[in-house]
């Protein structure tokens, strides 16, 4: 397909996804405006990622820090916000922070400490979600469920970080019902943590749901869905 047709396809995909997101929100009595679509760019190069703002999507997610640097430099649109959704090694924090609006994938205390230190040095703040391995899969990164309540008592240790919620992926092997259980567990964990944390911290965000399960995630309270394959459907060779 020629580039204009591919861009048209991207617009159609985004519109179809947003329609389904809105339906899922209404089904569960929520306002569609309360759920943000983060378009994941990991399947495409910087040139295609740069089509997103023109197609009406300014919340962009990338899982690899190095790819994020390249793509963020190529997408020179000031309205765009970048979300890191994959593991961040501590030696890449300094170079990654300036590009980021959000990190969804903060998965250890060591990373919280290192982010705090770098954000302090740069006199900046960063919006953070804590990644929880709700499905308890050994191959996944993230805090365990048992880590979380003790952590909520200590949020004041990281004053440069705006800890705004939780992120999770549903179990790899599982149907929609299993995904629903994982998502509702994340929501309940968030509610329990909110009761433990310092009052100035508001855990409003639940980043959960991908191409295969974003509607279920929204029904269970997702405020951000991270969608890749469905966004680029028909554009990948
Ligand atoms: C790749 C990825 C996504 C998007 O997955 P799709 O199934 O392609 O929509 C979401 N979240 C994370 C953390 C990812 O790595």
Q: What's the rounded mean pLDDT across residues 131-137?
A: 91
Query: Is 114 a member of any domain?
Result: yes
Any bridge partners for residue 206, and if so which? 166
Confidence check: pLDDT of 237 > 80:
no
- Tell how far the Cα of 43 is from the centroid of ligand 1, in angstroms: 10
CA distance 222 to 209: 7
173 pLDDT band, cuts 50/70/90, is: confident
Domain count along the chain: 1
Atom of ligand 1 nearest to the CA of 211: 9
**DSSP-H helix ranges across 77-108:** 93-96
CA distance 72 to 21: 26
Boundaries of domain holding 201: 3-227
- Tell how far the Cα of 226 is from the centroid of ligand 1, in angstroms: 6
Q: Taking CA 65 as the corner, what is the angle to CA 115 and CA 4, rounded to the nearest 5 degrees?
A: 140
- Tell how far the Cα of 210 is from the centroid of ligand 1, in angstroms: 6
Which residues form the pocket of ligand 1, taking CB atoms under 6 Å from any ligand atom? 40, 42, 63, 85-86, 210-212, 226-230
* CATH code of residue 115: 3.20.20.10
Query: Is 235 a member of any domain?
Result: no
Write down the pTM of the prediction.
Answer: 0.97
Closest CA to 195 of 161, 152, 159: 152
């Amino acid at each position: 397909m020629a580039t204009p047709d591919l861009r048209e396809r991207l617009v159609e995909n985004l519109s179809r996804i947003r329609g389904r997101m809105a339906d899922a929100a209404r089904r569960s009595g929520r306002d569609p405006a309360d759920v943000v679509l983060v378009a994941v760019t990991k399947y495409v190069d910087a040139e295609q990622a740069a089509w997103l703002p023109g197609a009406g999507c300014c919340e962009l997610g990338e899982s690899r820090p190095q790819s994020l640097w390249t793509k963020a430099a190529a997408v020179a649109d000031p309205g765009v916000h970048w979300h890191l959704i994959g593991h961040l090694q501590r030696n890449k924090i300094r170079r990654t922070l300036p590009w980021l609006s959000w990190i969804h994938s903060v998965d250890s205390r060591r990373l919280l400490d290192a982010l705090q230190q770098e954000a302090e040095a740069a006199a900046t703040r960063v919006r953070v979600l804590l990644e929880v391995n709700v499905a308890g899969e050994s191959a996944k990164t993230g805090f365990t469920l048992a880590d979380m309540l003790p952590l909520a008592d200590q949020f004041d240790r990281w004053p440069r970080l705006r800890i705004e919620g939780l992120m999770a992926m549903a179990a790899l092997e599982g149907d929609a019902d299993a995904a629903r259980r994982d998502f509702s567990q994340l929501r309940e964990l968030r509610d329990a943590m909110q009761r433990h944390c310092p009052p100035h911290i508001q855990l409003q965000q639940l980043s959960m749901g991908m191409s295969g399960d974003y509607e279920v995630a929204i029904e269970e309270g997702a405020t951000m869905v991270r969608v890749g394959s469905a966004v680029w459907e028909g554009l990948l060779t």
